[in-house]
């Protein structure tokens, strides 16, 4: 399985955990909610869905809405297929959510993981955020070193492009710092009474607690980094 298809499978399972959907609805949500899938097509989505069904993680059901039946009868075709997550699929998705290895820090994978942070345990969120920050700090150090070596040989436009790439990475590092501090603050606010209601609430995977109140909860677009 390619990394790209693995990210798509993860995103499909995550969206279907929220509610069953038609293929068209899934594609729309992937396009609008997860910008990393802007350019993908039905030709990519449906093989992915078939694979997930074959693995026992999804089941196919006929659309039950009256508009589905009417549209099908008028067109002389069967009703739209609705995809529903199975118990095995939910368990598999939860296993994927708990993963915090280096692949979760990469650009597209991190964006998909962040989109489902509301369903992710706080400790896992922290490890993914800190890993992503570490990866970007390494990238930023390499970019600075490269710029220092080549600055004299670059024309003004290439130099400006290099600076733009660095600024994009620096901006995301600042954003990650804010998220990490907010997560820590949310955890600290719930830590004094381990057996109290606040601590019990903190055990829910969807507790977001300390997200910044400004509009900083959307990952910067990795495509802004022009010097990967």
Contacts of 30 (CB under 8 A, 6+ apart): 8, 11, 12, 15, 37, 40, 45
Contacts of 88 (CB under 8 A, 6+ apart): 56, 57
Mean per-residue pLDDT for 159-187? Answer: 94
Record the pTM.
0.74
pLDDT digits (tens, 9 = 90+) for 71-95: 444 444 556 899 999 999 999 999 9
Contact 100, 127 (CB under 8 A): yes
Mean pLDDT over the full length of the chain: 80
Mean per-residue pLDDT for 158-182? Answer: 95
pLDDT of the residue at 222? 52
Mean per-residue pLDDT for 184-192? Answer: 67
Weakest-pLDDT range from 27-31, 56-60, 193-197:
193-197
Query: How far, in Å, are 32, 78, 99 from residue 25 at the CA level?
Result: 11, 17, 27
Mean per-residue pLDDT for 54-60? Answer: 97
Classified as helix, coil or strand, 212 is coil
Calculate ∠ Cα 15-16-19, nearest 5°.
105
The DSSP bridge partners found for residue 83 are 21, 60
Read off the tokens for 133: 């920050």
pLDDT digits (tens, 9 = 90+) for 122-167: 999 999 999 999 999 999 999 999 999 988 888 999 999 999 999 9
Mean per-residue pLDDT for 9-21? Answer: 94
Mean per-residue pLDDT for 175-200? Answer: 70
Residue 195 clears pLDDT 90, i.e. is over it: no
Provide the 10 A C-beta neighbour count for residue 125: 22
């Amino acid at each position: 399985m390619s990394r790209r298809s693995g990210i798509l499978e993860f995103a499909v399972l995550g969206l279907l955990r929220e509610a069953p959907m038609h293929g068209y609805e899934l594609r729309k949500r992937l396009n609008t909610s997860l910008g990393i899938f802007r350019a993908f097509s039905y030709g990519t989505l449906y093989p992915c869905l078939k694979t997930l069904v074959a693995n026992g993680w999804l089941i196919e059901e006929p659309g039950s809405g009256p508009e589905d039946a009417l549209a099908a009868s008028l067109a002389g075709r069967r009703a739209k297929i609705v995809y529903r997550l199975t118990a095995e699929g939910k368990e598999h998705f939860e296993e994927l959510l708990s993963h915090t290895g280096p692949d979760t820090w990469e650009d597209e994978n991190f964006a998909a993981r962040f989109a489902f942070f509301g369903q992710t345990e706080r400790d896992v969120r922290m490890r993914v955020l800190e890993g992503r920050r570490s990866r970007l700090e390494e990238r930023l150090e390499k970019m600075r070193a490269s710029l220092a070596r080549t600055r004299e040989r670059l024309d003004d436009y290439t130099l400006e492009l290099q600076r733009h790439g660095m600024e994009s990475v620096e901006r995301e590092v600042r954003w990650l710092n804010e998220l990490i501090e907010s997560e820590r603050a949310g955890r600290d606010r719930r830590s004094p009474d381990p057996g109290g209601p606040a601590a019990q609430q903190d055990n829910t995977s969807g507790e977001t607690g300390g997200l910044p109140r400004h509009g900083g909860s959307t990952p910067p677009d990795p495509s802004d980094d022009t010097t990967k």
